[in-house]
């Protein structure tokens, strides 16, 4: 069968690549075309647009790039019709993907959505679009099934793909020589995860780096991404005592005593690696004001959302400053009872995330729904 798959961010590229691998195990004649990154490409996807060219964050950045986004949507629609897929698979990336879902549905293409947009946090009205245009939704957070059920829409809970990614890392990819190979010293490591886009890296990393002089008994290491050149990081670092290690985030976390993490999927990855963390986020002032008025949840990190409790500190907007960051980092480094409680909470988090095998479960369901619809 022919599959057209769209992922617009790095996490989507990761989860899509694992899903594609599982689909190929079931359908050995599968052909893939789509929008994504290097991981999807390594699985044989004919990449039409790379995530580095299509990822825009925040309300202001989206507005500034509306012309580009509109052109991309038009191009995507044309490309889908030319490819004539048996199924369209959408992965998160709601602003773009929900528009494409409607187009595909109107043109008689089967639409599957893997990893629900976080409409439970804001824009709940999008449920109507999803019910109308998405044939099957596969959700990865345990509370999402009930959320959709309240709107009379049946979805499949497939488990969280990070459980498999981390288990695979622990079993096959953990590098026991990580510290020596990267010439790190014997001090405990504090990992800095500033994000993957230039805009957020600059905004987050500049504040994170300011705490370094106050923690001389620790070494700070940035989780770098190859999508951003070393020169960009160096402009922000400006000679500070910090190292950058590229594309080894899991190995870095595995060896870290604590972490400062930009809000997003990385907060959940850090928790599943059993690393106490401080969650950080600061957007443009206009984006923040808009979000503050529309978001309907009490927390921004997936860890706190899933546990429905403030397990880890969240420093948002004006609270994300050097003084507050020092305070919260000191707490997770020094308070042994808090660290023990955090690790117990992380154990509860794993239990709540439920079943493993998200990619395999989703691939099997896609195959089942395609076969039964013929």
Tokens in use for 358?
Answer: 């998200």
CATH of domain 165-353: 3.40.50.2000
Query: What is the overall mean pLDDT for the chain?
Result: 90
Q: Which burial class, exposed, middle or buried, applies to 276 when counting CB atoms under 10 A from its CB (0-12, 13-18, 19+)? A: buried
What pLDDT was estimated at residue 215?
A: 97
Domain chopping of the chain, boundaries:
2-160+356-373, 165-353
Query: 87 in helix, strand or coil?
Result: strand
Return the axis-axis angle of helices 358-373 and 161-168, rounded to nearest 10°: 130
Instruction: Give the rounded distance of the alpha carbon of 118 from its chain centre.
Output: 12
The count of residues in the chain is 374
**pTM, entire model:** 0.83
Most confident of 191-200, 289-298, 323-332, 352-361: 323-332
8 A C-beta contact, residue 90 and residue 112: yes
15 DSSP assignment = H
CATH class of 2-160+356-373: alpha beta
Percent of the chain with pLDDT over 70: 93
pLDDT band at 293 (very low <50, low <70, confident <90, very high): very low
Question: What is the DSSP track for 202-252?
Answer: HHHHHHHHTTGGG-TTSEEEEEE-TTS-HHHHHHHHTT-S-EEEES-HHHH
Tokens in use for 305?
Answer: 């959302």
8 A C-beta contact, residue 314 and residue 196: no
Average pLDDT rounded to a whole number, residues 41-61: 77
Check whether 285 has a pLDDT greater than 70.
no
Assess whether the region 2-160+356-373 and the region 165-353 belong to the same CATH fold: yes
- HSE (side-chain half, CA atoms, 13 Å) at 362: 32
- Range with the lowest mean pLDDT among 21-25, 68-72, 172-176? 68-72
What pLDDT was estimated at residue 294?
A: 47
If we measure between CA atoms, which residue out of 274, 258, 232 comes closest to residue 331? 258
pLDDT band at 304 (very low <50, low <70, confident <90, very high): very high
What pLDDT was estimated at residue 10?
A: 82
Residue 309 has phi, psi (to 5 degrees) of -160, 150
pLDDT tens digit sequence for 235-270: 999 989 999 999 999 999 999 999 999 998 899 999
8 A C-beta contact, residue 242 and residue 221: yes
Check whether 57 has a pLDDT greater than 60.
no
Only one residue has tokens 């020589």, namely 177
What pLDDT was estimated at residue 299?
A: 87
Q: Which residues pair with 223 in a beta bridge?
A: 245
Within 10 angstroms of residue 104's Cβ, the number of other Cβ atoms is 26
DSSP H helical segments within the chain, as ranges?
10-26, 38-42, 59-64, 66-83, 94-106, 126-133, 144-149, 161-168, 178-181, 198-209, 230-237, 249-254, 265-272, 285-294, 302-307, 322-334, 336-353, 358-373
What pLDDT was estimated at residue 226?
A: 81
Residue 163 has phi, psi (to 5 degrees) of -60, -40
If we measure between CA atoms, which residue out of 24, 31, 51, 34 comes closest to residue 89? 34
Instruction: Give the rounded distance of the alpha carbon of 173 from its chain centre.
Output: 20
8 A C-beta contact, residue 145 and residue 221: no
Average pLDDT rounded to a whole number, residues 216-241: 93
pLDDT tens digit sequence for 106-143: 999 999 999 998 888 777 888 999 999 999 999 999 88
């Amino acid at each position: 069968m022919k599959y057209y798959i769209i992922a617009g961010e790095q996490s989507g590229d990761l989860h899509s690549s694992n899903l594609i691998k599982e689909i190929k195990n079931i359908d050995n004649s599968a052909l893939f075309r789509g929008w994504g990154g290097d991981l999807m490409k390594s699985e044989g996807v004919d990449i039409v647009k790379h995530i580095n060219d299509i990822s825009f964050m925040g309300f202001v950045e989206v507005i500034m790039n509306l012309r580009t986004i509109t052109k991309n949507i038009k191009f995507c629609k044309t490309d889908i019709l030319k490819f004539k897929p048996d199924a369209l698979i959408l992965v998160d990336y709601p602003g773009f993907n929900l528009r494409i879902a409607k187009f595909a549905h109107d043109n008689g293409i089967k639409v599957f959505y893997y990893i629900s947009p976080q409409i439970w946090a804001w824009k709940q009205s999008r449920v109507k679009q999803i019910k109308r245009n998405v044939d099957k939704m596969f959700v990865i957070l345990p509370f999402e099934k009930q959320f959709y059920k309240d709107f009379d829409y049946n979805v499949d809970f497939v488990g969280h793909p990070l459980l498999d990614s981390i288990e695979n890392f622990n079993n096959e990819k953990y590098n026991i020589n990580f510290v020596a190979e990267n010439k790190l010293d014997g001090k405990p490591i504090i990992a800095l995860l500033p994000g993957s886009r230039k805009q957020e890296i600059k905004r987050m990393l500049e504040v994170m780096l300011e705490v370094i002089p106050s923690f001389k008994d620790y070494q700070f290491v940035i989780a770098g991404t190859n999508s951003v050149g070393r020169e960009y990081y160096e402009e922000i670092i400006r000679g500070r005592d910090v190292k950058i290690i590229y594309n080894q985030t899991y190995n870095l976390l595995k060896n870290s005593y604590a972490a400062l993490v930009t809000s997003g999927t990385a907060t959940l990855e850090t928790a599943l690696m059993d690393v106490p963390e401080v969650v950080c986020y600061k957007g443009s002032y206009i984006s923040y004001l808009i979000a503050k008025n529309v978001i309907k949840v009490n927390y921004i990190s997936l860890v706190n959302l899933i546990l429905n409790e403030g397990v880890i500190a969240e420093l948002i907007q004006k609270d994300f400053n050097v003084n507050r960051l020092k305070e919260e980092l000191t707490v997770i480094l020094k308070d042994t009872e808090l660290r023990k409680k955090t690790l117990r909470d992380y154990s509860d988090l794993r239990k709540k995330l439920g079943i493993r095998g998200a990619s395999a479960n989703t691939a099997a369901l896609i195959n089942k729904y395609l076969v039964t619809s013929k």
